[in-house]
Structure 1
């Protein structure tokens, strides 16, 4: 049975406890053993983290000790998946650049605040994470992110929608959903999720579920590749000795 850890807290305006409940329900229905914690000390045991298949931080703003970031990073590098949504992962610890490097982006603005009507455009990729899903409209915060150029973008939204000083620039397509790698680990992020009702939208729930499963599968796939590589290396060595 795969194991997942959800850690919620920070600014409560994003309803992290309620979102944690939605995610827990989805994961348990998919056969995961799920632990939910409301303290960052859940990241204190590196070996325990390495034994997981999936880590889901739901912690907006706040501060985190460097040792805890190091533990999460080490676990993800070893193959543990990392899934995040909205400010719960990519506006989590504004002062910690190591966290931002691992997670792939940092929130900087949401012009128009909550209730902006915009379209999530599914990118033209061959990824099974978005297969069969069409563009859809939402009414929520539209995140403007500073983004790692290494990410693989799965969905975007067009800026500007709400007016602001950014409107003086040409239109830009901002990532809404992306993946990246951190060592052997898989990282998935969606900027959707200002409050629990957004994460409860059927298409958003489906995208989240696919993200959970993809992230959690990475550990076993990495282990299998490592084993195959070791066997190939061993076979090659034996052949050379003959």
Structure 2
């Protein structure tokens, strides 16, 4: 008997600065090798299709900013509660649909800013907020199947400052220093990788991923790919 394929839905769009097409195309071959039938949609309208969402084991979302209609969000929420996995990286999941508080609650974390570099420091166009920072794994992250066996690593890219709640299981974090010229008075630690369980569904979020070279970083890529497998419905049911 042939084992039926799992179903992955890639939903992409929003701000073009995050290269939603090129970024998601990097992961479709991985999903197919892992036995997923992959459907790609260029709009969140598919979330309102109850039949499609009920048959979807994993949603990979890459939609920065943008807006979502009430019925679309309701469809996504219902699917996750029923067991559909949800995952993504950077602004494609953590900076989506800023006007929707219900979406923010579902995902559990929201991009607030990426602190600028110091006064007088020069950056290439498009890299004005790139910083050197370290992604450090938590004790939970060192045990979790998404991040187990990985070592802390350094990046030179946007460092997300995230607002979040304590229903997230934080697997890795990054600390924003309290530099003399900044208005905050002590270092602030933001989650860089987290998971969240919502109803019967699983959510996995990775905040690095601003550009294609970051997505190609071996640790970032490993985290995203393992997050897809962990979040997918069959994993949730196991």
TM-score class normalised by the smaller sequence: 0.7 to 0.9
CA distance, structure 2, for counterparts of residue 85 and residue 162 of structure 1: 27
CA distance, structure 2, for counterparts of residue 55 and residue 62 of structure 1: 17
Q: Which has the larger radius of gyration?
A: 1
CA distance, structure 1, for counterparts of residue 180 and residue 57 of structure 2: 42
The aligned residue for residue 220 of structure 1 is 234
Q: TM-score, normalised by structure 2?
A: 0.88
Give SS of 2:67's match.
Answer: coil
Answer yes or no: is the 8 Å Cα contact 1:111–1:164 preserved in 2. no
The aligned residue for residue 201 of structure 1 is 217
The aligned residue for residue 165 of structure 1 is 182
Give SS of 2:139's match.
Answer: coil
Matched, 1:148 2:165: yes
CA distance, structure 1, for counterparts of residue 8 and residue 75 of structure 2: 16
Deviation at 1:64, TM superposition (A): 0.9
CA distance, structure 2, for counterparts of residue 87 and residue 101 of structure 1: 16
- 1:88-116 deviation per Cα after TM superposition (whole angstroms, max 9, x unaligned): 11111010011100011111100125421
Deviation at 1:222, TM superposition (A): 5.3
The aligned residue for residue 36 of structure 1 is 40
Deviation at 1:163, TM superposition (A): 6.6
The aligned residue for residue 119 of structure 1 is 134
**Count of equivalent residues:** 221
CA distance, structure 2, for counterparts of residue 163 and residue 35 of structure 1: 49
Answer yes or no: is the 8 Å Cα contact 1:123–1:156 preserved in 2. yes
CA distance, structure 2, for counterparts of residue 161 and residue 188 of structure 1: 28
The aligned residue for residue 236 of structure 1 is none
- 1:133-183 deviation per Cα after TM superposition (whole angstroms, max 9, x unaligned): 0000111100001102210000001112777534x3211221000001111
CA distance, structure 2, for counterparts of residue 196 and residue 161 of structure 1: 29
Deviation at 1:44, TM superposition (A): 2.2
The aligned residue for residue 11 of structure 1 is 15
Gaps of 5+ in 1: 225-242
The aligned residue for residue 232 of structure 1 is none
Matched, 1:185 2:201: yes
Deviation at 1:43, TM superposition (A): 1.5
Answer yes or no: is the 8 Å Cα contact 2:178–2:186 preserved in 1. no
Matched, 1:62 2:78: no
Answer yes or no: is the 8 Å Cα contact 2:178–2:185 preserved in 1. no
Answer yes or no: is the 8 Å Cα contact 1:20–1:36 preserved in 2. no
CA distance, structure 2, for counterparts of residue 180 and residue 162 of structure 1: 32
Superposition misfits of 4+ residues, deviation over 3 angstroms: 161-166, 220-224
Answer yes or no: is the 8 Å Cα contact 2:173–2:193 preserved in 1. yes
Q: CA RMSD in A?
A: 1.6
Higher share of residues assigned helix: 1
The aligned residue for residue 234 of structure 1 is none
Q: TM-score, normalised by structure 1?
A: 0.86
